Amino acid sequence: ADTEVGEGGTCQWIVGALDKKTTMAFYFEIANQQPNVMPPSKQGYLQFQTCYCHPSGRKRLRVTTVAHRYTSSSMTDITAGFDQEAAAVLVARYAVLRCEQQEWVDRMLIRLVSTFADFRKDDPGSFKLAAELAMFPQFMYHLRRSSFLQTFGTSPDETAYYRTIIFRENTLNSLVMIQPALLQYSFEEGPPQPVLLDTCSLKTDVILLMDDFFHVVIWRGEKIQAWYDLGYQDKEEYANFKALLQAPAGDAKQILADRFPVPKFVQTNAGGSQARFVTSKVNPSSAGVSSGQIDATAVITDDVSCKAFMEHLIKLAVKS
């Protein structure tokens, strides 16, 4: 290809080590882009030959053949086959490889949505993005704020470690690195519920479990922490409160046992010094300021919210 991505210019690569969780990304470019050259029903095939030394000492060759369908320049077909989760991870790897900052990601995202979205020129209210692409801008919003592109407050060693890991992990784990998972534990809802990675989820009477792959954080709201400081969990009549405290701890223990490299475990509360692990990741949809007072769940940041980011993106995409 004219544009080299990663280790290009060859069809053979050497990998120092492979395990069952290692993933590789291959970027292809269609050499012949003339219209109507390939019939829409034509199948394209790719074959990967992996030669490796088995622990038994034998040399093995594994052949994997995958097929993909060619299509014309129809945007409908391309949109229907778009995997936004995999695309987000591929873009993240490419951005990390180039050590690009937000500007490159922003330009790429504007080009994408202006090409595939439905809208009328200079009319932001008419903007509509297909379901297959609807989550992609949100992934890019969190990628822009992640430690992969934002190195402030992170040592060079930490940055190198984070970037090395995203190059080898699968799509699910990589998405957790880009947009952490957040679970809520409360008295009212029973089993833990996934909630938005947003400041609106930082409630006083809940416990949150955040997983960003590198850290597993248990965050307690103000009321929960106050009850804990009073020792309610040690009283028989508050057995349900004790069970509520134990639930996220058990889930966190399971994550720590199953994952390699083992993430850092953090236990904190609203207003605590280590609450920054959560507040730096959530979408600052609200400033947390009410009646001139700032509560412990307030997120003071210069970052724009996801809503403001999307509004600006739409304005740029529909601009004539």
CA angle 93, 95, 96 (to 5 degrees): 65
For the chain of 320 residues, list the mean pLDDT of each consecutive stretch of 10.
80 87 86 66 88 92 90 76 94 87 87 92 94 96 93 90 94 96 92 94 95 97 95 94 96 95 95 92 73 59 90 93
For residues 214 and 162, give the distance between their C-alpha atoms in angstroms, rounded to a whole number. Answer: 8
How high is the pLDDT of residue 79? 87
How high is the pLDDT of residue 5? 83
User: Residue 44 is encoded by which pair of tokens?
Assistant: 């394209």
How high is the pLDDT of residue 42? 77
For residues 183 and 174, give the distance between their C-alpha atoms in angstroms, rounded to a whole number. Answer: 18
Global pTM reads: 0.88
For residues 207 and 249, give the distance between their C-alpha atoms in angstroms, rounded to a whole number. Answer: 10
Half-sphere exposure of 253 (CA within 13 A, CB side): 5
How high is the pLDDT of residue 69? 81
What type of residue is 275?
A: A
How high is the pLDDT of residue 269? 95
How high is the pLDDT of residue 101? 65
How high is the pLDDT of residue 37? 65
pLDDT, tens digit (0-9, with 9 covering 90-100), for 51-79: 999 889 999 999 999 998 877 666 778 88
For the beta carbon of residue 40, count every other beta carbon within 10 angstroms. Answer: 11
How high is the pLDDT of residue 12? 92
Burial class (CB in 10 A: 0-12, 13-18, 19+), 216: buried
